[in-house]
Amino acid sequence: MPQVFVPKEITEGETRVACTPETTKRYVKEGFEVVVESGAGRHAHFTDEHYRDAGAKIVSGADAEAAWGNADVVFRVYPITPGDASKLTEGAILIGFMSQHRNLDSVRILRDKKVSTIAMELVPRISRAQSMDALSSQASIAGYQAILMAATYLDKYFPLLMTAAGTIQPAKIVIMGAGVAGLQAIATAKRLGAVVEVSDIRPAVKEQVESLGGRFIDFPMDESGEGEGGYARELTPEQLAAQQKVVREKVVAADAVITTALVPGRPAPKLITEDMVADMREGAVIVDLAVEQGGNCELSKSGDMVVAHGVTIIGHPNMPAATPADASLLYARNIQALLLNMLKEGEIVVDVEDEILDGALLTHNGEVRHGPTAEAL
């Protein structure tokens, strides 16, 4: 009977859990033994009793420490620390976000212990893996939360208001990047009654933007801005300067700006310069969802909220954690879909010929399989 261990997340601000009572029931039904560290689901409001009722074994203290070495599979949300990586038994399977470019010491340990590490951010964007796409499930929550945070700190209403004292014009929102987070931000801002304009270097997303009620900011390019897997590709310095010129007028006139632009494996592009911020009106808000990858705004600081030139700039590094219950439900379902895909006649099979695992395996059999990470070591 394969054993799954769900440790408690210890990183400050991480409220999610990688396995819920719902997914626990399914694992038990499929023949897994599920071991959960006491308090693992507390921040998402899943109690130890909920897990027991679902069929899990609850451990704490020395038993929780021992569970790291006894487990066939360990689930994580936040990237594993070198200390925790060293607790895993040789040949174990680790499933979670890795942020491998910032976590190389852990990668080395996982490689040397011959752990099969499945990085959720490396799951390929193919139709068969849609139910496993944790980046998308968590990005959708981040886009939703970004708008709520902007509305909280903005000094005006989002919707058009007609009152006996006169009319209040709707807020003008600019969203940079129309991926999953950006599209959810558009939908949420429109529900709140704002006027929404959207910038993206991929012309193919224009129809999606407009279907949600956003106005697409046309950005003329000699070639498509779409890269591998449908993500935006890295722009040349000349193209980036041209994009900044096009969006500058929109950003300066905005009440709030949500930035979501990411390029896989690269630092986030700097789309908002300090001089652009200086020209924005006092009281405006910027929410930088790319802050963990360096930020789309030159003035963003990860984990901090700064005020520059009268503009509030929010650099929340883990926006999905602000909605822990639903973020955990979705993430746990992503992991469940992935693990059950590996289950063959009651045994977990790490099949490197499987297109999903081939893309998502960071380490396996003592090797680092992800090219950019191997080069960085």
Of residues 133, 200, 255, 288, which has the active-site annotation?
133
Angle at Cα 256 formed by Cα 294 and Cα 253, nearest 5°? Answer: 110
Tokens of 254: 């905005």
Considering only CA atoms, which of 176, 165, 164, 158 is closest in space to residue 225? 176
Rounded-to-integer distance, Cα 7 and Cα 191, Å: 38
User: Is 351 marked active-site?
Assistant: no
Contacts of 11 (CB under 8 A, 6+ apart): 78
User: Is 86 marked active-site?
Assistant: no
Angle at Cα 96 formed by Cα 202 and Cα 4, nearest 5°? Answer: 145
User: Is 130 marked active-site?
Assistant: yes
Contacts of 268 (CB under 8 A, 6+ apart): 261, 262, 290, 291, 293, 294, 295, 296
Q: Are 112 and 91 in contact (CB under 8 A)?
A: no
Considering only CA atoms, which of 260, 265, 266, 264 is closest in space to residue 300? 260
Of residues 231, 244, 266, 358, which has the active-site annotation?
231
Of residues 136, 208, 244, 302, which has the active-site annotation?
136
What residues pair up with 32 in beta bridges, in sequence order?
Answer: none
Considering only CA atoms, which of 360, 337, 286 is closest in space to residue 137? 337
Q: Are 316 and 322 in contact (CB under 8 A)?
A: yes
Rounded-to-integer distance, Cα 32 and Cα 30, Å: 6
Rounded-to-integer distance, Cα 360 and Cα 3, Å: 21
Rounded-to-integer distance, Cα 77 and Cα 11, Å: 10
How many CA atoms are closer than 13 Å to the CA of 20, on its beta-carbon side? 21
Of residues 125, 191, 215, 266, which has the active-site annotation?
125
H or E stretch covering 35: strand 33-37
User: Is 169 marked active-site?
Assistant: no
Rounded-to-integer distance, Cα 307 and Cα 324, Å: 27
User: Is 133 marked active-site?
Assistant: yes
What residues pair up with 156 in beta bridges, in sequence order?
Answer: none
- Residues with active-site annotation: 125, 130, 133, 136, 231
